[in-house]
Amino acid sequence: HVQLVESGGGSVQAGGSLKLSCTASGDTVNAYSMAWFRQEPAADREGVYALATDGTVNYATFVKGRFTISKDVAKNTLYLQMNGLKPDDTAVYYCAASRGWISPEFRLRAPWYDRWGQGTQVTVS
């Protein structure tokens, strides 16, 4: 099974940018549907952006063109480029993976993923 490690979180001012990385080991990211989720304290984990095995993407409406998901197969790494950050984006961001293809209507739903990273904190002030 794949193991996931996130990095790139931090503290930024509103309007700033961060690029999160999710480095996979143990298997190739090409075999997995992958996604970014985020979670605020006492809240459910919500889907942010998903990248399916066929290269199609799904994203939450609050992304509104500010975030972009990408993958570097050579580095076995998933990225989330976040621009125009707002205080409401403050959360712990998690990388998730599920082997194989996921139907679009389920890609931003946490129960469909069985591999998770430890999370990285993003704070926007």
Q: What is the pLDDT of residues 66-120, one digit of tens each?
A: 999 999 999 999 999 999 999 999 999 999 999 999 999 999 999 999 999 999 9
Percentage of residues of the chain with pLDDT beyond 90: 98
Q: What is the pLDDT of residues 58-79, one digit of tens each?
A: 999 999 899 999 999 999 999 9
The span from the CA of 112 to the CA of 89, in Å, is 23
- Mean predicted lDDT score pLDDT of the chain: 96
Secondary structure in 3-state letters for the chain = CCEEEEECCEEECCCCCEEEEEEEECCCHHHEEEEEEEECCCCCCEEEEEECCCCCEEECHHHCCCEEEEEECCCCEEEEEECCCCHHHCEEEEEEEEEECCCHHHCCCHHHCCEECCCEEEEEC
The answer to whether 61 and 76 are in contact (CB under 8 A) is no
Q: What is the pLDDT of residues 20-32, one digit of tens each?
A: 999 999 999 999 9
